[in-house]
Amino acid sequence: MDGRERFELPPELEEFRAAVRAIVEREIAPHAARLDATDAWDEDLYRALVRHELMGVGYDETYGGSGGGALPLGILVEELSRVSAAVALVPAVSKLGAIPLLLAGTEEQRARYVGGICRGELLMSYALTEPGAGSDAASLRTRYVREGAGFVLSGTKRFITGAGVSHAYVVFATRDPSLRAEGISAFLVLREDPGVSFGREEDKMGIRGVPTREVILEEARIPADRLIGREGQGFEIAMRTLDHSRPVIGAQAVGIAQGALDVAARYATEREQFGRRIAEHQGVAFMLADMAMRLEAARLLVYKALALCDAGDPRMTLWSAMAKCFASDAAMRITTDAVQVLGGYGYVREYPVERFMRDAKITQIYEGTNQIQRVVIARELLAALG
């Protein structure tokens, strides 16, 4: 096996990347700054993804998807994030909501909800975090009780991406908080269910243009067929879901970093100081070199993790945590350096690097903070040593 086969994507995925990039440059990039400035959901941009059949990327053809698994989805998210991290969250968050169904849902649930995502009929969100349960997910307080032929859910989920826009939510609730992980189950909750409402939209530093709100459940009654998997299986489903979704956040971080590096490198070849382009000054040249090295290392790590997810490799917990952690840390460093390369221009909104820097920060926080990723990495590493 030569180096190309071992370390480069197959030609069909590079062709896919080129096709996505053309769509993104034509239909998403012109609106990225406006989306950030207004922080308003843009249905037309979502419909552009549907029209080009991009919402079906990474899903099995059985449900109307285009197949291919996690790696094509990662490339899609990467290319979208080069111009708009917010738009990249549209397919990424729906996949996050769909993964529990793919892992433990019934065929009927998959056909309706996963198929609905692929057809552009609905969006999904993932509702795990609570006001008092972030990194310690097992401490959640949203309760459920059996009632007749169904369940009643009460509680509040916080920082839910897509809340209010998404049509369906995977909600994690406990029958008894004292049971911690063993008491948690997963449920499908619909936007129109009685007892479901949404809090105010958060005024966020980054990923502006996709709503983040509370999901409030006040004795929300749902039928029994909306349970995902078995009762008491919810925590396992939640953690397995994150193993699959963290490399996608890594791909988002890589795309953000690539967008920032593109702008910084171009600017450095055009801006002159002391009679020559600033790219010819060693201080700037070395900065660009470091940015490029971190980016390519992050990209390879993310692709490896995505490939392990597609293979169902048991090492995916370790590699997913490493990919998400390293790529998001790299994106934060690269985007900060991009602002520095542009100097005063980097600090104003006329140029997109300050937006890239704001967007990069969330990749170190959601899907498990990078401190939690280091806990996971260390735990997996030490467990492998016996």
**Distance (Å, rounded) from C-alpha 98 to C-alpha 115?**
10
Which one of 130, 201, 367, 380 is the catalytic residue?
367
**Distance (Å, rounded) from C-alpha 109 to C-alpha 105?**
6
Say if strands 124-127 and 168-174 run parallel, antiparallel, or are unpaired: parallel
**Distance (Å, rounded) from C-alpha 84 to C-alpha 63?**
27
- Residue 367 a catalytic site member: yes
Collapsed DSSP state (helix, strand, coil) of residue 239: helix
* 8 A C-beta contact, residue 49 and residue 84: no
Task: Give the residue from 287, 237, 236, 283 showing the smallest Cα distance to 260.
Answer: 287
Query: What is the token pair recorded at 265?
Result: 């490198």
Where does residue 283 rank: exposed (0-12), middle (13-18), buried (19+ CB within 10 A)?
Answer: exposed
Collapsed DSSP state (helix, strand, coil) of residue 58: coil
**Distance (Å, rounded) from C-alpha 69 to C-alpha 1?**
23
Beta strands in 77-211 (DSSP E): 124-127, 143-147, 150-161, 168-174, 184-190, 196-198
Angle, helices 234-270/282-311, rounded to nearest 10 degrees: 150
Task: Give the residue from 203, 259, 249 showing the smallest Cα distance to 40.
Answer: 203
Largest pairwise CA distance in the chain: 80
Residues belonging to the active site: 367
